[in-house]
Protein backbone atom coordinates (compact mmCIF):
# COMPACT_ATOMS: atom_id res chain seq x y z
CA UNK A 1 0.00 0.00 0.00
CA UNK A 2 1.42 3.39 -0.93
CA UNK A 3 1.56 6.37 1.39
CA UNK A 4 -1.38 8.18 -0.27
CA UNK A 5 -3.58 5.12 0.34
CA UNK A 6 -2.44 5.04 3.98
CA UNK A 7 -3.38 8.71 4.26
CA UNK A 8 -6.83 7.99 2.82
CA UNK A 9 -7.45 5.09 5.24
CA UNK A 10 -6.60 7.34 8.20
CA UNK A 11 -8.71 10.27 6.95
CA UNK A 12 -11.73 8.05 6.21
CA UNK A 13 -11.49 6.44 9.64
CA UNK A 14 -11.36 9.83 11.38
CA UNK A 15 -14.27 11.08 9.30
CA UNK A 16 -16.31 7.97 10.13
CA UNK A 17 -16.22 8.98 13.81
CA UNK A 18 -17.14 12.58 12.97
CA UNK A 19 -13.73 14.10 13.60
CA UNK A 20 -13.88 17.82 13.01
CA UNK A 21 -11.74 20.07 10.82
CA UNK A 22 -9.65 17.26 9.33
CA UNK A 23 -6.49 18.65 7.73
CA UNK A 24 -3.64 16.81 6.01
CA UNK A 25 -0.25 18.50 5.80
CA UNK A 26 2.21 17.35 3.16
CA UNK A 27 5.43 17.04 5.15
CA UNK A 28 7.63 15.71 2.33
CA UNK A 29 10.93 17.56 2.41
CA UNK A 30 9.94 19.35 5.63
CA UNK A 31 10.00 16.63 8.27
CA UNK A 32 11.98 13.43 8.49
CA UNK A 33 9.30 11.96 10.77
CA UNK A 34 6.54 11.39 8.19
CA UNK A 35 5.31 12.28 4.71
CA UNK A 36 1.92 13.41 6.01
CA UNK A 37 0.50 14.78 9.24
CA UNK A 38 -3.24 14.46 9.70
CA UNK A 39 -4.71 16.82 12.27
CA UNK A 40 -8.27 16.66 13.56
CA UNK A 41 -10.24 17.02 16.77
CA UNK A 42 -13.13 15.63 18.75
CA UNK A 43 -15.42 17.46 21.15
CA UNK A 44 -15.08 15.10 24.12
CA UNK A 45 -12.66 12.60 25.62
CA UNK A 46 -14.88 9.76 24.43
CA UNK A 47 -14.99 11.06 20.87
CA UNK A 48 -11.21 11.56 20.77
CA UNK A 49 -10.76 7.95 21.89
CA UNK A 50 -13.36 6.71 19.38
CA UNK A 51 -11.57 8.49 16.53
CA UNK A 52 -8.17 7.08 17.55
CA UNK A 53 -9.60 3.59 18.02
CA UNK A 54 -11.27 3.68 14.58
CA UNK A 55 -8.03 4.73 12.92
CA UNK A 56 -6.19 1.90 14.68
CA UNK A 57 -8.81 -0.67 13.63
CA UNK A 58 -9.03 0.45 9.99
CA UNK A 59 -5.25 0.60 9.64
CA UNK A 60 -4.88 -2.92 11.05
CA UNK A 61 -7.67 -4.20 8.74
CA UNK A 62 -5.53 -3.00 5.82
CA UNK A 63 -2.46 -4.81 7.22
CA UNK A 64 -0.71 -1.51 7.88
CA UNK A 65 1.64 -1.66 10.82
CA UNK A 66 0.63 0.58 13.72
CA UNK A 67 3.96 1.76 15.09
CA UNK A 68 2.55 3.32 18.23
CA UNK A 69 -0.33 5.15 19.79
CA UNK A 70 0.31 7.65 22.56
CA UNK A 71 -2.01 9.70 24.76
CA UNK A 72 -5.07 7.46 24.38
CA UNK A 73 -5.94 7.23 28.08
CA UNK A 74 -5.71 10.98 28.64
CA UNK A 75 -7.61 11.70 25.38
CA UNK A 76 -6.28 15.26 25.09
CA UNK A 77 -3.84 14.68 22.22
CA UNK A 78 -3.62 11.19 20.77
CA UNK A 79 -0.78 10.52 18.38
CA UNK A 80 -1.31 7.59 16.00
CA UNK A 81 1.89 6.68 14.18
CA UNK A 82 1.42 4.50 11.11
CA UNK A 83 4.82 5.15 9.61
CA UNK A 84 4.77 7.68 6.80
CA UNK A 85 1.48 9.07 8.14
CA UNK A 86 1.17 10.46 11.65
CA UNK A 87 -2.32 11.33 12.89
CA UNK A 88 -2.82 13.91 15.64
CA UNK A 89 -6.26 13.57 17.25
CA UNK A 90 -6.84 16.49 19.60
CA UNK A 91 -9.50 17.32 22.11
CA UNK A 92 -11.13 20.52 20.86
CA UNK A 93 -9.73 22.49 23.81
CA UNK A 94 -6.15 21.39 23.09
CA UNK A 95 -6.04 21.87 19.34
CA UNK A 96 -6.00 25.64 19.43
CA UNK A 97 -3.40 25.67 22.17
CA UNK A 98 -0.87 23.55 20.28
CA UNK A 99 -1.84 24.94 16.85
CA UNK A 100 0.20 22.49 14.78
CA UNK A 101 -1.11 24.04 11.58
CA UNK A 102 0.72 27.28 12.46
CA UNK A 103 3.80 25.47 13.78
CA UNK A 104 4.11 23.62 10.45
CA UNK A 105 2.79 26.57 8.43
CA UNK A 106 5.33 26.02 5.66
CA UNK A 107 3.80 22.61 4.89
CA UNK A 108 1.29 22.66 2.03
CA UNK A 109 -2.22 21.36 2.63
CA UNK A 110 -2.99 18.07 0.92
CA UNK A 111 -6.33 17.90 -0.88
CA UNK A 112 -8.43 15.30 0.97
CA UNK A 113 -11.90 16.55 0.03
CA UNK A 114 -12.53 13.58 -2.26
CA UNK A 115 -11.96 11.23 0.68
CA UNK A 116 -14.31 12.96 3.11
CA UNK A 117 -18.01 12.12 3.29
CA UNK A 118 -20.18 14.92 1.88
Q: Tens of pLDDT along 93-106?
A: 999 999 998 889 88
pTM above 0.75, yes or no: yes
Whether 118 shows a pLDDT value over 60: the answer reads: no
Beta-strand relationship, 77-81 and 85-91: antiparallel
Give me the CATH code for the 3-103 domain, please: 3.30.460.10
- Say what the pLDDT of residue 5 is: 92
Element housing 21 (H / E) = strand 20-26
Q: Under 8 Å CB-to-CB from 40, ≥6 apart: which residues?
A: 14, 19, 20, 21, 22, 23, 51, 87, 88, 89, 90
Q: Tens of pLDDT along 34-70?
A: 999 999 999 999 999 999 999 999 999 999 989 999 9
Whether 117 shows a pLDDT value over 80: the answer reads: no
Best CA proximity match to 45, nearest among 81, 11, 72 = 72
d(CA 109, CA 98): 18
Amino acid sequence: MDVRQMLEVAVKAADAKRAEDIVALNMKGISLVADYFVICHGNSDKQVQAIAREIKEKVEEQNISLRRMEGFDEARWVLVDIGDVVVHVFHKDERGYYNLERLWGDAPLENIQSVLNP
